Amino acid sequence: MSLLTSLFTGASGMGAHGAAIGVVGDNIANVSTIGFKRTRAGFADVLGGTLGSQRLGAGVRLGSVDTQFEQGSVQQTGGMLDVAIRGHGMFVVSGQHDGQTGQYYTRDGRLQLDNTGYLVDPRGLRVQGYAIDSAGAMATSISDLQLTGITSPPVATTTADLTLRLDSGAQTTPLAAFDPLNPGTTSNYATSATVYDSLGAPHKVDLYFRAQGGGAWEWHAMVDGGELTGGTAGVATEIATGTMTFDANGALDTETPGVSSANFLNAAPGQAIAFDFGDAITTDGGTGRAGTTQPAGANAVVGLAIDGHGAGQLIDLHIADDGTIDGAFDNGDTRSLGRLALATFTDEQGLARAGDGLFTQTATSGQALIDAAATGGRGSISAGALEGSNVELGDELVTMIAYQRAFQANVKTVTTADEMLADVAQIKR
């Protein structure tokens, strides 16, 4: 190996370690970048001439810069659409970035809604996932997720379960026969509930209960006639009636089917609402205790469970561990709207950095393997959190010191070779 070769060997070491310091510097610069994955410099020796049967070394080069995909720390933010991946996988986003339209992959979970209601990342790329329809069926292929403009359709009331305590003392002095025109004075107890027609319009239903003696009761469901086809406003109209009996222990023994037929204005005619008061012993084969009972004491309503609701607008979103995005509506309804997709790769380190925390697939990484979050070894989702950079600042600083010392040593190689060449040049004198 000549002295001139020694100069170039030292210079290669200076160049390689100078570039490696740049890799460390990039890591340090991105220590606070959400979802950033640190890179690691890989060195490769360079071969020169031969000496006998052995190849001589001619220095070093920066052989590779490998991205390290280990998990970053998960930081709680409380943001409604902030999400972090715990485990393997990357979010799939689609759109134009740096003039190139395509599909990209990222661990940056700072999601938001754009002005058209699509779920996007901080760069405006649309997040990909599986849409879920109003029947709860999930799509089989990924697409852009649009979450605003979704409404909860009205649902007509079909069942009304009521739990009451009816005063056993009322059985000693039964009132006169129930009078629909004077329900308040011909009943022992009254309560009300709200039901919905097929258009989602609410209707107040007044329920009147009259003791008949011997543990028997009758009940009547009344609606203002102005809300019914052919009815008269201000005149209570009956839409359902039935009876209940209680045993000597106050347990519900029998109840007649309380199915109504209501013709609400402009809605579907003949709406049937099944009124149920508990697990009657004879009628239902129950205990008679898990519902309406007849103890001694004041009348009281204990519970109402009535289905149906009006139309609703989306007011809140929640993302579950499996990536399911649930919407809450102002009518009290909740349903799933979509599910986040995650991509994995045969060789993650083969992905190409595209800037802004984005990656693209290459022949080395292989095709993206895309499926729903928390399936097939893919990570789960932490809502209200973000994944921080996986850069360990202390480790990077130690690595930088090592590279700096190596750079200085290579400088020494160059200066030493230079001094030796200067000595050679002095021989002529």
User: Taking the CB of residue 248, how many other CB atoms lie within 10 A of it?
Assistant: 9
Q: Quick one: pLDDT at residue 87?
A: 95
Letter string b/e over residues 358-378, b meaning 16 or more CB atoms within 10 A of that residue's CB:
bbbbeeebeebebbbbbeeeb
Contact 43, 20 (CB under 8 A): yes
User: How many CB atoms are closer than 10 A to CB 167?
Assistant: 17
H or E, element range at 8? helix 3-29
Query: Is it the case that residue 1 has pLDDT exceeding 60?
Result: no
pLDDT band at 260 (very low <50, low <70, confident <90, very high): confident
Report the distance separating Cα 257 and Cα 280, nearest Å: 11
Cα 317 from Cα 300, distance rounded (Å)? 37
pTM of the model: 0.77
Q: Side chain identity at 156, as an amino acid letter? A: A
Q: 335 near 317, Cβ under 8 Å?
A: no
The pLDDT confidence band at residue 45, using thresholds 50, 70 and 90, is confident
Encode pLDDT of 284-340 as tens digits: 999 999 999 999 999 999 999 999 999 999 999 999 999 999 999 998 899 999 999
The answer, yes or no, to whether residue 422 has pLDDT greater than 70, is: yes
Q: What's the mean pLDDT in 237-241? A: 94
∠ Cα 88 94 98 (to 5°) = 110
pLDDT in tens, 275-293: 999 999 999 999 999 999 9
Please report the pLDDT score of residue 38 as a whole number: 96
Question: What's the pLDDT tens digit per position in 387-410?
Answer: 999 999 999 999 999 999 999 998
What Cα–Cα distance (Å) separates residue 401 from each residue in 21, 24, 144, 407, 414? 9, 10, 46, 10, 20
Q: What order of strands is seen across the sheet that includes strand 300-306?
A: 258-259, 274-276, 159-165, 300-306
> Which residue matches tokens 């809605």?
267
Task: Return the residue matching tokens 């039935």.
Answer: 242
Task: Reply yes or no on whether the pLDDT at 48 is more than 80.
Answer: no
- pLDDT single digits (tens) 17-26: 999 999 999 9
- How large is the average pLDDT for residues 141-163? 92
Closest to 342 measured CA to CA, from 297, 403, 307, 387: 387
Instruction: Residue 306: count other Cβ atoms within 10 Å of its Cβ.
Output: 18
Residue 299 burial by Cβ neighbours in a 10 Å radius (0-12, 13-18, 19+): middle
Residue 428 has what pLDDT?
Answer: 67
Report which of 292, 275, 357 is spatially closest to residue 105, judged by C-alpha positions: 357
Q: What is the pLDDT of residues 199-235, one digit of tens each?
A: 999 999 999 999 999 999 999 999 999 999 999 999 9
Q: DSSP state, 183?
A: T
Q: Tell me: the pLDDT tens digits for 348-385?
A: 999 999 999 999 999 999 999 999 999 999 999 999 99
Rounded to an integer, what distance in angstroms lies between the CA atom of residue 405 and that of residue 241?
93
Q: What is the pLDDT of residues 159-204, one digit of tens each?
A: 999 999 999 998 887 788 999 989 989 999 999 999 999 999 999 9
Closest alpha carbon to 130 in 345, 320, 373: 373
